[in-house]
Amino acid sequence: MKTNILFCLIFNFIFSLSFSQNPDKKVEQRHYTSLKYYKLKYKEPLTKEDSLNFQYRNNDTLVLIKNYLEPKGVRVPYEFKDSTFLHYYKKVAFNHKNNLYSTKTSMKYWKEDIRIFFSKNIKKSTKKDFIPFVKNISDQVDSLNIFIVKKAKDANYFIYNDGDYEYEENLKNNKNTNYYIYWKQNKIYKGAIKLYPDDISLEDKMKDYFIQSLGFFKLSNEFDCNSYFSNCASEKKTLTNLDLEIIKYHYSYGICKGTNLETFENQHKKAKALLKETGHKLYFLHVD
């Protein structure tokens, strides 16, 4: 049996191709990269001997990497989604504007745990529905852990009222923005929500901003009005099945995290073609 494995590295693709003519013998494994990436990554010019080891997959020329050391990581099988779901997912994950996307825009996600601190002036009634709401998300979404902490020094996510200590300077004197997040290499590491007590439905607003901050998600008018990913103004939003599936998928390791839209689409194209044409498994290797 032959298994093709796609290693998911930042801006890098390494193919591990295993071949065996006799299932009783040890499988020989060779590692390849695309010709395009090889020219960007490696300085050594290709020789005639190298060309004898070329492999061809999905219209790509693959170059054998000699003495390759496999990085440590976690292998996860590709998670298939149909085109309808991916249409909705791309709407929110890649920050579209007027249905147009920038190929440079990359998805954002939390790598570390989210540790939420409430300022002392946040009322218990305001937190009453919010805490079970985020706990439900944490329980249902793999690789996304959300906790409530009692001390600000232990937090990386702050929820506070206007007039409290200003936990986020970028929200100071800025009523046009109610939440703010920071990221590095597309990994979100800090966030904040600022509430204005004179606003109605504070509980709903907290949920709105929190959902958006899970991936710098962009709202869309293509979602039902009760969806948290809809830009429809509504006080009756609920975490719909599609909402939850989008968040689950965003945090799934069955895709490459932190990629731009062009890379995301190319990976799906290759993965679906491989499944359709060969039925062989494709895996992503996630490496920190």
Please state the φ and ψ torsions of residue 240, each to the nearest 5 degrees.
-70, 165
| Percentage of the residues of the chain whose pLDDT score is greater than 90 | 45
Q: Which residues of the chain have pLDDT under 50?
A: 1-7, 9-12
**Nearest-5° angle of CA 178, CA 183, CA 185?**
155
Residues in the chain: 288
pLDDT in tens, 241-258: 999 999 999 999 888 888
The pLDDT value given to residue 255: 86
The pLDDT value given to residue 257: 85
Contact 1, 20 (CB under 8 A): yes
The pLDDT value given to residue 102: 67
The pLDDT value given to residue 10: 35
Strands (E), the chain: 4-9, 12-19, 28-34, 55-57, 60-64, 74-77, 109-110, 114-118, 146-148, 157-161, 179-184, 187-195, 283-286
pLDDT in tens, 193-249: 999 877 767 888 899 999 999 999 999 999 999 999 999 888 789 999 999 999 999
The pLDDT value given to residue 1: 31
Contacts of 133 (CB under 8 A, 6+ apart): 207, 210, 239
Q: Is the pTM of this model over 0.95?
A: no
